[in-house]
A and B are shown apart, each in its own frame.
Chain A
Amino acid sequence: MSKKVLMKGNEAMCLAAIMAGCKAYFGYPITPQNEIPEYMSQHMEESGGVFIQAESEIAAINMVYGAAAGGVRAMTSSSSPGIALKQEGISYLVGSDLPCVIVSVSRGGPGLGGILPSQADYFQSTRGGGNGDYYIPVYAPSSVQESVDLTIKSFEIADKYRTPVMVLVDGLLGQMMEPVEIKDYKPTLIEKPWATNGDSGRRKRNIVNSLSLNAEGLEETNLRRFEKYKEILKTEEMVENHVKDGDEMAIVAYGTPSRIVLNAIDILAEQGIKAGLIRPVTLWPFPYSTFANLPSSVKNILVCELSMGQMIEDVRQGVQGKHPIHFYGRTGGVIFSPEEIAKKAAEVAKGGA
């Protein structure tokens, strides 16, 4: 059984979270993600979960820390400056190997910035602002349907690897409505024998902790965590690669801007320029190998981001100098049009940019 409904990205991710068995949501209002706490305040209780509007993003992520430590599927959400505040908590969640899902609906920055769509938080998401040696998986959906599918997946991945997982969208996807097919889904909840849920009468007591005053001990913990990362890198990478043999250009974009690129590619086709889209779906792990094995027909790579260029560093690392890389971006909440991208791409194709 499935049904098709028209839903906003922000609300669809909430519905997905509840379907995935999320039993605790903690958040703080910030535009453009307010539909998330609003939806959760309305629906968490009826689904047997807990909603608290926290006093700050810092408190919200620490409530997630508490709920996740207790063994339930927990989620928080915010937008750029709010995600910045959560970084301490994210580092602690990683350090304590706790699973959770963080939805980031990004807007223009730095500082208070603006409230319009932006992708300037690529570094914040994939490199993190918290302290210590760590990564977290980051999913970047480009449609409302995909944000449902990837939110559900995020809860599974979080539990499987005992790690925070981020779903990164821009304000555009958060606010946009699209038809979504809601399929029947029953979450597979795994045992969490490590949870500090106050059941020590029935087992050895559990400790959730990121402190390790012994250097060798901490090194060992970190090495073990990186073994887990190796597995994630090997198995969890997702990318959509439309570049065909004969295409002279690969255009790289993630999230909703990748859809604007699709329109630009249509315009380019009318001009006789063959280009294909590469859309990383996981930003960490980043699909480096895709860029190492492009068809020989590809003469140029154009990276398009709603930022001054952040993902381009990962593209560079993947391309390893084999193809020239160009960039087109708008920042601060300005969204590029397909025409702008097509113009830039045409210049690149002519060797002019």
Chain B
Amino acid sequence: MTTKIIFSGFGGQGILTLGQIVATIAMKKGHHVTWMPSYGAEMRGGTANCAVVISDKLIGSPLVDTNIDALCAMNDASVTKFLSKVKPGGNAFINSSIVTESPKRDDITIREIDATNIATKVGNPKVANMVMLSGFLKDTDLFTMEDIEGALHDTFGQKYPKLIPLNIEAIKAGA
């Protein structure tokens, strides 16, 4: 079983961190996992994305081009670029606070999450990325809230322990 996820949005939306948290969860659950950022000119421009591949066997290519199992899209450009590449039966989580057009595909599960607005209400629009995780909790069985908390402790525990409660609150607000 191999799951391919794309996280995509503006630079500064915490896209790469979000991918890392999911990769950390997978690692802690004992899966094989790769995290691959898009790098290059794109980093300096508007969009950032990363591919996370989770598998119960050795992962070949860390790149995800087609057959995306789950897409986490936080801006319009991400929807344009990746929605058509989600495989039939797959999931798409869309930040509807920012994405203007209503994405159309009948053969996948699309969940629109008012992530930026929810994050602002919780106290910081920067945690919109974490609100997007609530979609995964609802529509996939990749991980649980406890798994996320564990990964947050691993990611922020040493340097920014204060950030953890805010992040958890954000995810719960989205759910």
Contacts and interface: CB of A to CB of B under 8 A. Distances in A.
B62 A6 contact: no
A50 interface: no
Contact of A176 (B32, B34, B41, B60): B34
B23 interface: yes
A4 B59 CA distance: 17
B39 A171 contact: yes
B60 A263 contact: yes
A52 interface: no
A338 B36 contact: no
Contacts, number: 61
Interface in A297-340: 335, 337-338
Given A4-B27, A337-B65, A262 B58 contact: yes
A178 B36 CA distance: 9
Interface residues of B, number: 20
Contacts of A37: none
Given A115-B39, A176-B36, A338 B23 contact: no
B62 A259 contact: yes
A114 B40 CA distance: 9
B62 A256 contact: yes
A89 interface: no
Interface in A116-138: 116
Contacts of A29: none
Contact of B35 (A116, A171, A176): A176
- Residues of B contacting A: mostly: mixed
Contacts of B60: 259-263, 266, 338
A246 interface: no
Given A259-B59, A262-B60, A263-B61, A175 B27 contact: no
Given A6-B24, A6-B27, A115-B40, A335 B34 contact: no
B40 A172 contact: no
Top 9 nearest A-B pairs (CB, nearest first) are: A263-B60, A177-B35, A262-B60, A179-B27, A260-B61, A259-B60, A176-B36, A115-B40, A176-B62
28 contacts: A6-B33, A6-B35, A31-B39, A31-B40, A114-B40, A172-B62, A175-B36, A176-B35, A177-B20, A177-B23, A177-B34, A177-B35, A177-B36, A178-B35, A178-B62, A179-B32, A179-B33, A259-B59, A259-B60, A259-B61, A259-B62, A260-B60, A260-B63, A262-B58, A263-B61, A266-B60, A335-B63, A337-B61
